[in-house]
Amino acid sequence: MSDVTRARHGRPVHHWRRDLVELAALFTAVAVADVVADLVGHGPDGPVLLTISALALIATAGFHTWWSRRHGHAPPASDTGARPAARLRQTGPTGSSESESTFESKSTSESEQSSATPDAVAEPAALWRMRTTVQDAPGSLAALCTALAGKKVDILSLQTHPLAEGTVDEFLLRAPGAVAASEITRAVSLAGGSGTWIERADAHDLVDAPTRVLGLATRTALDAAELPLALRQLLGRCTIRSLPANVVAGKGREPESLPVEGALEDTVMRLRAPEGGVITIERPYLPFTPTEFARARALVELDARLGPRIPRSQDVLTLPEGNAITVRRADTGDLDAAREMHERCSARTLGMRYHGPVGDADRYLNHLLSPRFGRTLAVQTASGRIVGLGHLLWDGDETEVALLVEDDWQRRGIGSELLGRLVGMAVEAGCESVYAVTQASNTGMVAAMRGLDLPLDYQIEEGTLVVTARLGAAVSSAEVTEFGRAEAP
């Protein structure tokens, strides 16, 4: 590359040698022109010399043009500050085989022959969520970002959680597919990060934090049953348990002993439940920060101010024999109608549902119908009687489904309809699986679970049958379009 095209700090660099050569050429041209003028004006061969000079000038101009085109656009021979072409690498441990080094050598040779390889296919980038603690000092975050840049890791978003000592920084990262999580955490550790935690992310994490929090608040405002789900999505993988006031008192603790603003203890936070109990949130693998505690408390306070509420939507369906039924959400306002259904059910039906003394069945209804602990669907006849209940219950970090159909309305597809809708709700809530606790003799419940066409696991625990359905291939409740059928995704 010529000196004039080389750049330093973004500006062309001119050297004195080129200027001297151009000045000498100018003086030489003037001297030659003077000699030619004397010969043309005074010599006998002036016209001949003039013609020869014109041809020489034309030849010189042509040579200059050819030289400029050949060398002025030649590929750069030195680094100009542009990013070099990416070198392809074979996946797997480095130095593990001879074929890997051959692959790298071939890729390097091809990149030297061509500045760009359109047909090269790079590994897809991976999204990561990472959290690490750094010192609250100038330059600590800059050192962390420099370390990530050294691994070609792009920072998509950053949230800071101030602590009494230090700061917890939460990143959303996009890294080359060949960069493992251990490489990222090692680089962060060398840059001063401590207590680093990392896990794979997906496209849903690309939403910025304020937008995500507002969306969770909206869901909570529309449906009281969304509170546990909103807390789980806000805080990541955690276990959420809601204990009513009478249960807390039965364990020797008074709800009043919990401060109004709640309590934060490292990996456990406790908040006052809207109905007077306690909501316990536990995340053993990662301590909660004061910022997360404040966000969770704000969601619970919003739920408490709005009071009990459920969406007032319902679907009218027709059974195969022609009877019309209505499927809708139910809550504690349906407590009396549910008790009346219990009175019409046989002892065998209640025993299969509640796995205990039949006389205690009514005691569970207040808990089951409360939207604080899950979602309940009720099947109502044209006369207004409730003849079936389906429950989707948040059981810590697991989800339980349970069905009860009045004897006279069994074997008509009502249980399958309820179960399909409950599974659709579980899919919308992001649950990975649902389980049902029943008895092996309850062929109706077993048949309904098998009718989901999902992978099932069967376990016998203390004489009861636990059937777990994995929801990877399930459809959501919004896709249910016809009684007993679901539209393919």
- Give the tens place of pLDDT for each residue, 397-441: 688 999 999 999 998 899 999 999 999 999 888 888 999 998 888
Residues 420 and 345 in one domain: yes
Please indicate, yes or no, if residue 99 is contained in any of the structural domains: no
Task: Residue 400: count other Cβ atoms within 10 Å of its Cβ.
Answer: 18
Residues 298 and 319 in one domain: no
Angle at 222 between CA 216 and CA 226, to 5 degrees: 55
Residue 14 has pLDDT above 70, yes or no: no
Please indicate, yes or no, if residue 65 is contained in any of the structural domains: no
Please indicate, yes or no, if residue 176 is contained in any of the structural domains: yes
Give tens-digit pLDDT for 292-328. Answer: 999 999 999 998 888 878 777 778 888 887 788 999 9
Residues 339 and 427 in one domain: yes
Listed residues 306, 326, 357: the one ending a domain: 306
Dihedral (C-alpha) 307, 222, 247, 269: value to the nearest 10 degrees? -110
d(CA 372, CA 244): 10
Q: CATH number for the domain including 136?
A: 3.30.70.260
Please indicate, yes or no, if residue 461 is contained in any of the structural domains: yes
The chain-wide mean pLDDT, for the chain, equals 76
Please indicate, yes or no, if residue 447 is contained in any of the structural domains: yes
Residues 183 and 260 in one domain: no
Residues 223 and 359 in one domain: no
Q: CATH number for the domain including 332?
A: 3.40.630.30
Residues 266 and 402 in one domain: no
pLDDT, average across residues 362-366: 85
Indicate the number of domains in the chain: 4
Higher pLDDT, 450 or 254: 450
Residues 256 and 290 in one domain: yes
Residues 362 and 396 in one domain: yes
Listed residues 278, 306, 334: the one ending a domain: 306
Residue 73 has pLDDT above 80, yes or no: no
Compute φ and ψ for 348, nearest 5 degrees.
-65, -45
Q: For the ranges 91-105, 148-162, 350-364, which has the lowest average pLDDT?
A: 91-105
Give tens-digit pLDDT for 233-242. Answer: 888 888 888 8
pLDDT, average across residues 195-207: 82
Considering the chain, what percentage of its residues have pLDDT values greater than 90?
27
Please indicate, yes or no, if residue 50 is contained in any of the structural domains: no
pLDDT tier for residue 122 given thresholds of 50, 70 and 90? low
pLDDT tier for residue 72 given thresholds of 50, 70 and 90? very low
Name the residue range of residue 436's domain. Answer: 314-479
Q: What is the pLDDT of residue 342?
A: 93
pLDDT tier for residue 392 given thresholds of 50, 70 and 90? very high
b/e string for 478-487 if b means 16 or more Cβ within 10 A?
A: eebeebeebe
Which of the given ranges, 216-225, 328-337, 462-471, has the highest pLDDT on average? 328-337
pLDDT, average across residues 216-227: 87
Q: Is 330 helix (H, G, I), strand (E, B) or coil?
A: strand
Higher pLDDT, 95 or 463: 463
Higher pLDDT, 181 or 44: 181
Write down how long the chain is.
Answer: 489
Residues 170 and 225 in one domain: no
Task: Residue 391: count other Cβ atoms within 10 Å of its Cβ.
Answer: 22
Please indicate, yes or no, if residue 356 is contained in any of the structural domains: yes
pLDDT tier for residue 47 given thresholds of 50, 70 and 90? low
Please indicate, yes or no, if residue 298 is contained in any of the structural domains: yes
Residues 231 and 257 in one domain: yes
Helix, strand counts (H, E) of the chain: 14, 18
Is pTM beyond 0.85? Reply is no
Q: What is the pLDDT of residue 200?
A: 87
pLDDT, average across residues 54-65: 71
pLDDT, average across residues 96-107: 37
Residues 131 and 8 in one domain: no
Listed residues 261, 290, 306: the one ending a domain: 306
Residues 301 and 331 in one domain: no
